[in-house]
Amino acid sequence: MATGRTHRPATRSRGIPEATVARLPLYLRALTALSERSVPTVSSEELAAAAGVNSAKLRKDFSYLGSYGTRGVGYDVEYLVYQISRELGLTQDWPVVIVGIGNLGAALANYGGFASRGFRVAALIDADPNMAGTPVAGMPVQHTDELEKIIDDNGVSIGVISTPAGAAQQVCDRLVAAGITSILNFAPTVLSVPDGVDVRKVDLSIELQILAFHEQRKAGEEAGAEAVVADAVAEAAAADAPVAESDAEAAAPPAARAETTDRKGPDGDVPAVMPA
Partner DNA sequence: CGGTGTGAAGTGTTTCACAGCT
Partner DNA sequence: AGCTGTGAAACACTTCACACCG
Annotated binding site for NAD(+): 100-105
> Residue 98 class from Cβ within 10 Å (0-12 exposed, 13-18 middle, 19+ buried)?
buried
Draw the binding track, 219-258, toward DNA (x: CB under 7 A; -: no contact).
-------------------x-x------------------
Q: Per the annotation, where are the binding residues?
A: 100-105
Query: Residues with Cβ < 8 Å from 191, sequence gap 6 or more?
Result: 5, 161, 168, 169, 172, 183, 185, 199, 201
Helix (H) or strand (E) holding 121: strand 119-126
For DNA, the closer of residues 74 and 188 by Cβ is 74
Residue 195 as a binder of DNA (CB under 7 A): the answer is no
For its own copies, the closer of residues 115 and 177 by Cβ is 115
For DNA, the closer of residues 53 and 167 by Cβ is 53
Stretch touching its own copies by CB under 8 A, among 70-78, 126-134, 143-151, 170-178 = 70-78
* Count of positions on this chain that bind its own copies (CB under 8 A): 126
Residues 113-142 that bind its own copies (CB under 8 A): 113-114, 116-119
DSSP classification of residue 146: G
DSSP strand pairing (69-70 vs 74-76): antiparallel
Amino acid letter for position 193: V
Percent helix, strand and coil across the chain, each to the nearest 5: 45, 15, 40
Residues 9-48 that bind DNA (CB under 7 A): 10, 12, 17-20, 42-45
Residue 75 as a binder of DNA (CB under 7 A): the answer is yes
Query: Residues with Cβ < 8 Å from 177, sequence gap 6 or more?
Result: 148
Q: Give the Cα separation of 104 and 25 in Å (integer).
A: 22
Draw the binding track, 178-197, toward its own copies (x: CB under 8 A; -: no contact).
---xxxx---x-x-----x-
Query: Residues with Cβ < 8 Å from 96, sequence gap 6 or more?
Result: 114, 119, 120, 121, 122, 156, 158, 159, 160
60 binds, among DNA, its own copies, none (CB under 5 to 8 A by kind): DNA
Q: How far is the CB of 86 from DNA (least distance, A)?
A: 16
- Among 25, 68, 119, 181, indicate the residue that binds DNA (CB under 7 A): 68
Binding site for DNA (CB under 7 A): 10, 12, 17-20, 42-45, 53-57, 59-60, 62-63, 67-75, 238, 240
